[in-house]
Structure 1
Amino acid sequence: MTPELALAARAGLPDPLRVLIKEFPRDAWQDHPQYSQLIAFWLDRHLMFRRLLTHLNDDLEAILDARSDTDTYKRGLARYGGMLINQLHGHHQIEDTQYFPVMAQLDTPVARGFDLLDSDHHAMDGLLAGLTDAANGVLKADAAGLRDALGGLHGVLDGFGTMLNRHLVDEEELVVPVLLKYAPAQFR
């Protein structure tokens, strides 16, 4: 993976990997005859990740602004943070072992895009570990150390959110057009 294609460095998919998104623009996906339950489910999973991240950020803002109590905040952080982390790990594992290998064979010109997405998943593993550590720091913090732990989590969530969104957008713009174009039987 070249440095400019790393998740933290890129602003989107490189032009050679955007061929299918030009053929199948996002605003026409749901009206396409090959739009399937799998595509809808997969996009819903991405929406769930975005909503969980928004929930974590909103809860963090509420505790920082003293609009929430510590016990309630910590319970929500454990629940929703754990859900985001665990669900992302499982989602990435299924994509890397089941979906991406098949999709890469369907369209050779964009096959390297699936290597890029797999590389993103490895980068996300480190980001998820950092999020876990920051969240655990908050959960273990006593009253004296809570504010610092919350500040650390705030910074981690900001960076994590940026990388997660970049990855989800790029993944959607590669995967959905491949599924619309080829409609493989095993993915219907």
Structure 2
Amino acid sequence: MTDTTDPNLALERRTGLPDALRVLLEEYPRAGWEDDPGYQGLIAFWLDRHMMFRRLTEAMREASEARLDGTSEPERYAAAMSRYGSMLVSQLHGHHQIEDMHYFPVLSGKDARIASGFELLDKDHHALDGHIARFTETANAAIRASDGQTLPGLAKDATGAFHEEIARFETFLDRHLLDEEELVVPVILKYGASGL
């Protein structure tokens, strides 16, 4: 059983799942997921949600880069950040809530060897709440600074701060998503999606 209180397993420090939690991944490596008959349905849908989160963060980072380069208008940038940011935050919260309240409890009971992995993913969700709060705060500051009335230097500073935050957020979110995928997908492929 993996000690989920180990500080090296914190989302901000972890570089991957510990070997003890990768036992099913060895049996069901990522390269073969799409070819497995159990892939279609829940797994494909769930991975598509993860891809949406990645695309939204990428779009926001790229839009911030365009704004910093001066190739995007302030109003267009503000509208895109508001739309993408709202979608990302609301969809992430809903996704994590369903996982914490339903999927993780069911999946953790399917194989005792990886049960502590779901505790680790739950801790990630709590850590991500803090990152989401910082992301939202810096996004809102960048949106407000793009009102056309803010001095250009201050607007650029706010956009630069958000660009740094979105890059940091992407790193932590991707670490969590990768680890979650490498824990959840193999357990569903091995034991099926019953109860989910």
State the TM-score bracket (shorter-chain normalisation): over 0.9
Whole-Å separation in 2 of the counterparts to 1:154 and 1:75: 16
Asked if 1:123 corresponds to 2:123, the answer is no
* Aligned mates of 2:140, 2:163 — CA distance in 1: 13
Q: Counterparts in 2 of 1:103-182, with a 5 A limit? A: 103-141=107-145, 142-144=149-151, 145-182=154-191
Q: Percent identity?
A: 53
The structure 1 segments of at least 4 consecutive aligned residues displaced by more than 6 Å after TM superposition are: none
1:28-62 Cα distance to aligned partner (Å, 9 max, x none): 01111222301000000000000001100111111
Name the residue aligned to 2:59: 55
Aligned to 1:98: 102
86, 89, 110: which one aligns with 1:82: 86
Residue type of the partner of 1:102?
A: V
Q: Name the counterpart of 1:33.
A: 37
Between the aligned partners of 1:184 and 1:130, the Cα distance in structure 2 is 35
- Asked if the contact 2:135–2:166 (Cα under 8 Å) also holds between the matched residues in 1, the reply is yes
RMSD: 0.9
SS at match of 2:16: coil
State which drifts further: 147-156 or 169-178: 147-156
TM-score, length-scaled by structure 2: 0.93
Q: What does residue 6 of structure 1 align with? A: 10
Unmatched 5+ stretches in structure 1 = none
Q: For structure 2, which runs of at least 5 residues remain unmatched after alignment?
A: none
Deviates more, 1:30-39 or 1:92-101: 30-39
Counterpart AA for 2:133:
A
Q: Which moved more, 1:56-65 or 1:134-143?
A: 134-143
* One-letter amino acid matched to 1:25: P
For this pair of structures, how many residues does the alignment match? 187
Partners of 1:56 and 1:139 in 2: CA distance: 12
